Chain A
Amino acid sequence: MKVVIDAAACDGKGYCKRFAPEVFALDEWGYGRVLVDEVTPEAEANTRAAVEACPLQAIRTV
């Protein structure tokens, strides 16, 4: 599973990092950033939770 953040939609709320810190971080300006090319099976549940939690619906799995 891969995950992408729509940079135009992201508002820097930071839910992604809170739900899946192994997959997401906040960048220099406080906006969400994906840390990994491929989400490991162990991180998939947290990643899906982050996708659900994002108030801007800015995260998609592909």
Chain B
Amino acid sequence: MSFPLPARPLRAARLLGPDPERPPSPGPSAAEIIEIAAAAGVRGRGGAGFPLAVKLRSVAAAAEPVRYVIANGEEGEPASAKDRFLLRERPGLVLRGLTLAARAVGAARAYVYVSDARAAHRLDEARDGDTVEIVRAPAAYVAGEETAVVRAVGGGPALPAAKPPRPWQAGLRGAPTLVSNAETLAQLALAVRLGPDAYRAYGTPESPGTFLATLSGAGTPAALYEVPYGVPLRELVTAHRGTADGVTGVLAGGFAGGLLPPAALGLPLTHAAFAEAGGTLGCGAFVLLAGDCPVGAAADVAAFFDRENARQCGSCVKGTAGVADVLARLAAGAATPGDVEQLERWGEALAGRGDCATPDAVSVLVGSLFRHHRDTVRAHVEGACARCAGFPVTADTRFRVSLEER
């Protein structure tokens, strides 16, 4: 069974290259693995881009003798498909990375947390003995948040908890726990196989190596790309749809990265460049907009966050619902100038108002709308927008990358 989306290498094929046989045991020691992760500069592929070696060191240095590692394969991000690709098509690479991480931190047990049924099946086939446990996750946006992961693997609800403590301090059953995105672990396996110098042959000093990007939107069928960090977004978009012309905006880094203007096409794909532009590379998902009204696009994304809200934190429950409501009315030409003022204020006030980053995502979305499209927002108060009318807010987000068989 082949993966429903095409997966194409751009300039480099590592994750998409042939998967060689397991390297001869015993392989590198715990200290060597951490040293390789540090020297290669492996950064997290789940969203924050946090240096893997720092997390590994924190768990490895814990006073508690029992530690755990969890591969986070719960890809709740609707515009991303790369973790499910890796788990289904390169399960051996993810499991090898997980085993290396477990050795590096001295973990008692290793888990893969995954909601995709086919991925769980492929992992089960690929795992060696019972050293790795596969835990099924509910398919929900918040279920992939690191504290939700820890709670769910421990038998609890897949809901975020207050931080601190972070999982590396006190995670599964209270023990120091490394929670790492599935691609991050695959990258660790690559770094160990290639060595730090070869790993850094692609990418930039600040964002070394390659990553998997999911491109969708703008009327072009979605596809996955392995691309070195540092390549301009324009080159990736051009490889994907033949031209970057006609792109009127991009949801960069996934739903948590806000709406960037077409000028973002000129950015190099690095953590630093996207952070400086007020966005994020996030999980490498890029939804291209062509013809969509930014207000309508924001209304769709806000409605998604309202539906997926964990309903735990009062400000986020109310603020996200309020933002989604105003954006829906704005898209329908039924919002007042007062609504628009309130929308901007709510967007600012939502930052940091929850146990997880959902309110921050909504805050970034609203902030980017006002930063890049203030005049367009104002025009919606004057009357209904024809472009928005073409894309009514639907029961599921229209930006979801579907893995249904076609």
Using an 8 Å CB-CB cutoff, how does the interface string of A25-47 with B read, 1 for contact, 0 for none?
A: 00111110100000000000000
A48 to nearest B CB, angstroms?
A: 19
Q: Across the interface, do A27 and B315 meet the contact criterion of CB distance under 8 Å?
A: yes
Docked CA distance A10–B353 (Å):
11
In the complex, chain B residues whose CB is within 8 Å of the CB of A7: 162, 312-316, 353-355
B11 proximal to A (CB < 8 A): no
B151-191 CB contacts (< 8 Å) to partner A:
160-162, 164
Docked CA distance A60–B161 (Å):
14
In the complex, chain A residues whose CB is within 8 Å of the CB of B349: 27-29
B371 proximal to A (CB < 8 A): no
Q: Across the interface, do B314 and A28 meet the contact criterion of CB distance under 8 Å?
A: no
- Residue B353 contacts which of A4, A9, A27 (CB distance < 8 angstroms)? A27
Among B315, B316, B346, B355, the most chain A Cβ lie within 10 Å of the Cβ of: B315
Docked CA distance A6–B164 (Å):
10
Given A29-B318, A31-B314; A8-B353 close (CB under 8 Å): no
Docked CA distance A9–B312 (Å):
8
Using an 8 Å CB-CB cutoff, how does the interface string of B282-314 with A read, 1 for contact, 0 for none?
A: 000000000000000000000000000000111
In the complex, chain A residues whose CB is within 8 Å of the CB of B316: 7
In the complex, chain A residues whose CB is within 8 Å of the CB of B208: none
A21 proximal to B (CB < 8 A): no
In the complex, chain A residues whose CB is within 8 Å of the CB of B41: none
In the complex, chain B residues whose CB is within 8 Å of the CB of A11: 314
Docked CA distance A6–B318 (Å):
16
Q: Across the interface, do A28 and B345 meet the contact criterion of CB distance under 8 Å?
A: yes
Docked CA distance A28–B318 (Å):
10
- Residue A31 contacts which of B161, B346, B353 (CB distance < 8 angstroms)? B353
Q: Across the interface, do A9 and B162 meet the contact criterion of CB distance under 8 Å?
A: yes
Q: Across the interface, do A6 and B355 meet the contact criterion of CB distance under 8 Å?
A: yes
Q: Across the interface, do A29 and B162 meet the contact criterion of CB distance under 8 Å?
A: no
User: Which residue of chain B has its CB nearest to the CB of A10?
Assistant: B314
User: Which residue of chain A has its CB nearest to the CB of B312?
Assistant: A8
Using an 8 Å CB-CB cutoff, how does the interface string of A48-62 with B read, 1 for contact, 0 for none?
A: 000000000000101
B254 proximal to A (CB < 8 A): no
Q: Across the interface, do A29 and B315 meet the contact criterion of CB distance under 8 Å?
A: yes
B319 proximal to A (CB < 8 A): yes
A9 to nearest B CB, angstroms?
A: 7
Docked CA distance A7–B319 (Å):
13
Q: Can you identify 10 A-B contacts, CB atoms within 8 angstroms?
A: A7-B314, A7-B354, A8-B162, A8-B312, A10-B313, A10-B314, A28-B345, A28-B346, A29-B315, A31-B315
- Besides A11-B314, A31-B314, 18 more A-B contacts (Cβ < 8 Å) are A7-B312, A7-B316, A7-B355, A8-B160, A8-B161, A8-B312, A8-B313, A9-B162, A10-B314, A12-B314, A27-B315, A27-B353, A28-B349, A29-B314, A29-B319, A31-B353, A60-B162, A62-B164
4 pairs of A and B residues whose beta carbons are closest in the complex: A6-B162, A7-B313, A8-B312, A28-B349
